[in-house]
Amino acid sequence: MSETDTVASKGTPPSPRTRVRRMAERADYETATLHAILDDAYVCHVAFADERGVHCIPTACWREGDHLYIHGSNGSRMLKLAAEGAQCCVTVMHLDGLVLARSAFHHSMNYRSAMIYGAFEVVPAEQKAAALDAFLNHIARGRVNEVRRGDRNELAATTILRLPLDEAVSKIRTGGPSDDEADLALPVWAGVLPLALKPLPPERVAAQAGECPDDAPDYVKAWAQRAALTSR
Ligand SMILES: Cc1cc2nc3c(=O)[nH]c(=O)nc-3n(C[C@H](O)[C@H](O)[C@H](O)COP(=O)(O)OP(=O)(O)OC[C@H]3O[C@@H](n4cnc5c(N)ncnc54)[C@H](O)[C@@H]3O)c2cc1C
């Protein structure tokens, strides 16, 4: 797969290992770009090493300020290691399209991706509830005001970690194929097959003894509207 230059590099790499070397024009070191990529994500991949080797684990994530947050059971191997300060590499990626060129070589993909290096820090007990509120708001804004919040035992059983966004880089490819001049006349379809993660109609779980209100909250209605729009 080839990588052609479509986006000029923005900003300055925060460290030698975040300097994009291949297709450096696609690098973006701006905070706003990083935040936008992270805020579009529900999941990141956390890579770390232990005595069994190198691992890369998908997990839910959310951003608040200058940190990326993850959470889970206190028993999680990944969270235990990360809480101890293990060096990690976290990635987030959105696939925006398949790029079909006239030659096999120049096929590519459009994407927005981010990579963050560093060590997670443990979110202190007194900040856990607010951090989980932010997570719920990331999933569905306003839901935090409706659900039963975590009780003392649930909060105690949950580890929340945050990774500073100090050492991070984004890389983005947009646009069509970059065919060789000599191939432009070939009778081959060329272009982009766009891809997107899109909402589908909400699926309500049957109410149990009237526990679930009939009228859906605004964020569910908005989801349904987006689903209807994108299905056309
Ligand atoms: C979309 C998504 C969101 C998730 N969100 C969270 C979250 O918010 N918090 C959380 O704690 N966990 C989450 N998980 C589960 C997470 O991927 C891990 O399974 C979990 O954190 C346990 O990690 P561990 O290292 O303790 O697992 P262990 O059970 O100790 O892992 C042992 C081995 O099991 C295999 N394994 C573990 N997880 C996976 C996996 N997901 N897929 C395939 N093989 C696997 C690997 O070989 C791994 O080395 C999520 C998973 C997905 C796919």
Q: Report CA(146)–ligand 1 centroid distance (Å).
A: 28
- The pLDDT value recorded for residue 206 is 73
Number of the ligand 1 atom closest to the C-alpha atom of 73:
11
Q: What is the pLDDT along the chain (232 residues), one digit of tens a residue?
A: 544 444 457 999 999 999 999 999 999 999 999 999 999 999 999 999 999 999 999 999 999 999 999 999 999 999 999 999 999 999 999 999 999 999 999 999 999 999 999 999 999 999 999 999 999 999 999 999 999 999 999 999 999 999 999 999 999 999 999 999 999 999 999 999 999 999 999 998 876 655 555 688 999 999 999 999 987 7
How far apart (Å, rounded) are the C-alpha atoms in residues 165 and 96? 24
Number of the ligand 1 atom closest to the C-alpha atom of 55:
49
3-state class of 64 per DSSP? strand
The residue contributing the CA closest to ligand 1 atom 43 is 57
Number of the ligand 1 atom closest to the C-alpha atom of 80:
26
Q: Is the CB of 1 under 6 A from ligand 1?
A: no
Complete domains list, the chain, with CATH? 16-196 (2.30.110.10), 198-232 (no CATH)
- The pLDDT value recorded for residue 205 is 84
Query: By the 8 A CB rule, do 53 and 144 touch?
Result: no
Nearest Cα neighbor of 167 from 20, 48, 4, 14 is: 14
Q: Is the CB of 97 under 6 A from ligand 1?
A: no
- The pLDDT value recorded for residue 124 is 98
Q: Is the CB of 4 under 6 A from ligand 1?
A: no
Pocket test for ligand 1, best of 57, 69, 79, 139 (most atoms within 8 A of CB): 57
Q: Is the CB of 57 under 6 A from ligand 1?
A: yes
Nearest Cα neighbor of 116 from 23, 6, 31 is: 31
